[in-house]
Chains A and B, each alone.
Chain A
Amino acid sequence: MDSTLLSWLVFVPTIGAVACLLAPREVTRTVAMLASGISFVLSLFLIPPFLGAGDEMNAAAVFGSSYGDALHFIQRIPWINGESFTIEYFLGLDGLNLPLVILTTLISLLAVWASWNFDEWKINKGKKGYFALLLLLETGMLGTFVALDFFLFYIFWEVMLLPMYFLIGVWGGPRKEYAAIKFFLFTLAGSVLMLVALVAMFFYSGAAVAEYPELAVSYRDGASVLTTGTFDLIELATNEAIQKYFGESLFLGWRFAPVMFIFLFVGFAVKLPAVPVHTWLPDAHVEAPTPISMILAGVLLKMGGYGFLRLCYPIFPSGGQFWAGTLAAIGVVSILYGALCAMAQTDFKKLVAYSSVSHMGYVLLGIAVMTETGFQGAMFQMIAHGISSPMCFFLVGVIYDRAHHREINRFGGLWLTMPKYGTMATIGFFASLGLPGLCGFVGEVFVLLGTFEARHTFTWAVPAAILAAAGVIFTAGYILWLIQRVYLGPQKPEYADYPEATGREMAILMPLAALCVVLGVLPRVVFDYMNGTLRNILDQIL
């Protein structure tokens, strides 16, 4: 199904960014709101083709019988081409990126709304620039999720860094310059090896179709034969000639698939972030303004997980097998280390940042075990974390706007002062904790189940699952302790006159809280839209 809807979706925020720069300063935020609102509404129009996919009968019709069989909203335009290569502007949607696209537009919209009080910020210069960059960031994120040409994906992936860098660096806290540069350099250093992989995969795929022309049938029409190398992510994953060649060829004397897997993995692990390349995250979060933290935690971290599922596993399944133990170990360490670090924090925002490290560890573990339940759990965990962590960051922001500090130990009794806000905070933090009935629970449980399921394949699966389950206890520890110190206890006089959360603040928290509950009670609303594609990927790689 061809369509230009995805292009509109990606570039409406860009148009909005230009409009922000041109419009008078008084209406900048309205323009930004309008642009992000339109893209949110547009993203809802992506759902219809996926409706009814929960039904076994319909699933094949929606997701196709194999990976890449049924892409929706495809747009293909040759961009840079010569006789022997074509870089395409190729967008498409399947069960893997649909939930993430909608999450992105939602969180972006809420982040723009959370920036509504921009004029009251400490650094309130350059309002037009701020909103324009925020919208450009949205373009970059959406582009990364919907691009199915590796070259295009890489460009969106890199371009997205620029607005984020400036948003943290210009409108951030006291150590903004350090945090922004660290964020940029970590991500860039991670992605330079991805550039090598990009080029290597292109040339190896070219060699593959020359070596096995009889197998090189393209998935696009099921008949034509590939004659040159390709950047098409689906082609790289499904073309038999390419898969065969990738599996057997060497790169500098090592097996090609595991090496490329690691080249890609490093870039995605920085973004995820996995221990030990997570250190940029607490710095970036602490310095970033609240709405930017929401986007950073809600969407940017998901790109790491998305990258694993879109690139690493479908294209290099043997690499996934090869590194499974290492990745699971990194995942478990991230879970435990992130949780322990979170427990040790006295800065409210840093605590939430480390909790992200811990939560994304589940994503890595779920993917590493390569079971269907694990994949589903990882994907669900990404969505759930994409809802609960922006909520937590906004909750921190609300209280920071009033207190102008984030010392957990200086707070206390806030629930009594601000009952509505306290209720929202409880929902948000309990969702993050993984309380049954809220969204955080489903993902973690699926990941743990999936890890147990893998015990026949991997001997380390059971200890990994046990350790990861222990992480849940640590999580409960730091979150309950946090709630106790900040919201419970006797009212403190210096906070007694704080105003209750405003209508705008409640309006931002309410949809997130509602989603926390809905996803916790009815996880099907997410699973239905992605399981088909996950199953197709697994069918192909196992």
Chain B
Amino acid sequence: MNPLIQMSPEVCVVLGGCLVCLIGVARRSSARAVTSSVALVTLVVAMALTAWYGRPGDAIQPAGLLITQLSMYVRWITLIVGVLIVLVNAGTPADEERGEFFGMILFSIAGVMLTGCANDLVVLFLAVELVSVPTYILVGLSRTDARASEAAVKYFFLGALAAAIMVYGFSFLYGAAGTTVLRGASGGSLSEHVASAGRLTDFATIGLLLAFAGLSFKIAAVPFHAYAPDVYEGAASSVTGLLGFLPKLAGFAAMIHLLTAIGWQLPTSLLWLLWGVAAATMTVGNVLALLQTNVKRMLAYSSIAHSGYMLIGLLVGPALGAGPMHDGVAALLFYVAVYGTMNLGAFAALGSLTVRDEPAETLDDLAGLSRRAPWTALALTVCAFSLMGFPPTAGFLGKVYVFSSAFSLSPWHPFRTAMVVLVVIAVINSAIGAAYYLRIAAACYLRDADGQSRVSGDFMLRVGLGICGAAMVVLFVIPKPLVDRARYAAAAAHPRRDAHVSVVELPPS
């Protein structure tokens, strides 16, 4: 098949982004107003293209791309959550900045989709940066506040540093393998190099370490988390909802690619390091979130904590053909989709509120929300309980899958005990987490109506918020469609499966 057709969803999103940018410079305000609708149409067309042409197939060799079930999964959830992101942000930007704003959202979405398809270190780097660079701009555009500019600058410089570290690491990997191709290609790839050497060489280990350090920034893992609270607080709430999803998904997809390439054979030292990072990330995130009264900062720390839970899935790795309870990568992929939605919902609810013409930020602003805006309060509370990991919401299933995957390691696995300990740390952390998520629900329902917040009338925002809230309950009752796709995607990441045939025996998406 023509490579361009296989990549048509990404091409469509990028072209849509360009179109939106062009419309944004139109003279008439009414023309600029359609940018959000054009962005939505673009995403819907991209979905249609994904459904028609987006089949997993051969590597697109010169372009460094490989479409697997993992790519398909990343495409689908990015597009679906992307629609929600556009809905939630429909009213965020200033009138004259609408073009750039939605254009950047689309570029960032295209970046995530490309990350899912990347099979080459260079492409991977470019894709991850295509996710990040637009988000720096989005943070700056989202508000006219000085804090937004501060956040954008901070995010940009630290992001640039992380990118530099990551690409430095990639250069080591290239030096070790002699090729930038990740896997599957005839004539040399990282996976073949590792396979022939039997284990990861020290040189490659350093590369991997640096690459993971850079990617840890994207997923906001300790010790590269420090930017998150300031950036989340500085950006408009609805943009913050996007920050918790797109970079995180891209970061985890890139990590999965790298680990797949080396056959999930991490050296013990690196395993212990990641173990420590996971434990520290969830603990630091939850404990610091507990101390916040600003809801945006609280959710920023919560975002850090959730990365810690997701790292458990990454450390467990994929298991062929097993369900998410036995398969760390499947559990991780399920979790990241659910997290993106519930996090977006929480920020969307926050973004729909204003206090004396200022955006609502603190718990006091939410007080008594259930009386003034019962539906917004309900959606926010559902998302908060889902973040808490409380049934009947999808967040609960996500946690159960991630935690149980750690137990699924065979009793002879040298790392099993450590993983079980990590799960115990994680459940204690979820109890800590419950305390601050509960404060959100308490502010909405239990406090008297002394908060001053008003609900904005933006229709699209409320539709997006409603979908996020409803999705959490629906995915709890009917998790199977998403779980199955996560399973196929994880199978594509399994080392024993050659990339070319990785999907043949599995049902098509």
Contacts and interface: CB of A to CB of B under 8 A. Distances in A.
Interface in A199-213: 199-200, 202-203, 207
A459 interface: no
Contact of B442 (A80, A83, A181, A198): A181
Given A83-B322, A188-B434, A203-B408, A196 B403 contact: yes
B231 to A, nearest CB: 30
Which of B407, B421, B438, B441 counts the most A-chain CB atoms under 10 A from its CB? B407
B320 to A, nearest CB: 11
B446 A169 contact: yes
A125 B324 CA distance: 44
Nearest to B423: A196
B322 A180 contact: no
Contact of A177 (B430, B434, B447): B447
Contact of A80 (B321, B417, B434, B479): B479
B407 A85 contact: no
B257 interface: no
A159 interface: yes
Given A85-B325, A169-B446, A196-B423, A202 B390 contact: no
Nearest to B409: A203
B480 interface: yes
A195 B446 contact: no
State which size class the interface on A falls in.
35 or more
B427 interface: yes
B404 interface: yes
A502 interface: no
Contacts, number: 94
A83 B400 contact: no
B20 to A, nearest CB: 40
B508 interface: no
Nearest to B390: A158
A189 B446 contact: no
Contact of A85 (B323, B397, B445): B323
Contact of B323 (A83, A166, A189): A83
Contact of A192 (B392, B420, B427): B427
Contacts of B326: 84-85
Contacts of A493: none
Contacts of A252: 417, 420-421
A359 interface: no
Interface in A246-304: 251-253
B325 A84 contact: yes
B463 interface: no
Nearest to B397: A80
B428 interface: yes
Interface in B382-430: 385, 390-392, 396-397, 399-400, 403-404, 407-408, 411, 417, 420-421, 423-424, 427-428, 430
A50 to B, nearest CB: 31
A432 to B, nearest CB: 31
Contacts of B420: 200, 251-252
A166 B445 contact: yes
B31 interface: no
Given A80-B479, A192-B430, A196-B427, A170 B446 contact: yes
Contacts of B480: 80
Interface of B: 321-326, 371, 385, 390-392, 396-397, 399-400, 403-404, 407-408, 411, 417, 420-421, 423-424, 427-428, 430-431, 434-435, 438-439, 441-442, 445-447, 479-480, 483, 487
Which 10 A-B residue pairs are closest in the complex by CB-CB distance?
A82-B323, A169-B446, A203-B407, A192-B427, A199-B404, A189-B431, A155-B391, A177-B446, A192-B431, A188-B434
